[in-house]
Structure 1
Amino acid sequence: MSRPSVHEALIYLMVITSASDSDMTDAELSRIGEVVRSWPVFEDFDAEKLIGVAQDCQKRLHGPGGLEAVLEAVAVALPDRLGDTAYAAAFEVAAADLEMRLEEVRVLQLIRRALDLDTLVVAAIAQAAKARLRTLS
């Protein structure tokens, strides 16, 4: 299979995170759409292609090498300077339904390793997401 574009790689990580527990919730799908529509990294991406990219990711997950092959392709496609952005996008999806399942935590660990992210960067992203999503109750 061909190497994904940078936009596709970012979307793949969000899809992988959402699908990790075999239950892509409405909150997670909505968050993927919000990220694609509002984050500057996606400003020149055609949001109409989102569903097709997500379906391509699913095909790759069921193809040779499965998750490991997809993570390798993503790591090659993403410039180092976007590693934290990619992890933040995946974390947004994992946190979208306000609970982090074990499968999502495991996928985030795999993403962190594949992108060779610093532990402090990962902790800062997690803390920022928690602060942003905190409610009064």
Structure 2
Amino acid sequence: MNSEPKLTLSQHEALIYTMVLASAVDTAVKDVELQTMGAIVRFLPVFTGFDPDALPRAVESCMQLVSSGEHGVEEAVAVIRDSLPPTLRETAYALALDVIAADGQALQEELRLLEILRHRLDIDRLVAAGIERGARARWARG
């Protein structure tokens, strides 16, 4: 039996963990992705009440969880799911897409993470397609 206490996150932290996973899944957290996360935390209404200065601590905490073992990504996704109310699961998916789109390319690892998130967060395939289309329109380049 596992005696380790289960990690619980605030909804803000869970959304940040989702963005960090999207950034780190390809093993390289890019500056543009970090800048995107910072802008999202500062300007989206879902982060009202969150101190943007706490962002680096949340990023580091997520990176520690992900690198803690061979199932780090799966554990992080489970913690995100358990910490988010169902009303914010689509938001989490949209934020992951925005971070992935920030550098102008979606790598295979990132696409696989999106698939995992869609399934684990119980996001309907058509809803996910709409969210993806919105991200593609927001991040279009000329």
Q: Does 1:113 align with 2:119?
A: yes
Check if 1:124 corresponds to 2:127. Answer: no
1:93-104 aligned at under 5 Å gives the runs 93-104=99-110
Using the TM superposition, name which of 77-86 and 55-64 deviates more: 55-64
CA deviation after TM superposition for structure 1 residue 10, in Å: 0.4
1:4 Cα deviation after fit:
1.1
What SS does the corresponding residue of 1:15 show, helix, strand or coil? helix
Partner of 2:19: 14
If the length of structure 2 is used for normalisation, what is the TM-score?
0.91
Matches within 5 A, 1:1-137: 1-63=6-68, 65-136=71-142
Q: For this pair of structures, how many residues does the alignment match?
A: 136
Residue-by-residue CA offset, 1:42-79 (whole Å, 9 max, x unaligned): 01100000000000001111225411111111101000
Q: Percent identity?
A: 40
Aligned residues: CA RMSD: 1.1
Q: Which residue of 1 aligns with 2:3?
A: none
Taking structure 1 as the reference length, what is the TM-score of the superposition? 0.95
Q: Deviations over 1:98-128 (max 9, x none)?
A: 1111111011111111101001111111111
> Structure 2 regions of 5+ residues with no counterpart?
1-5
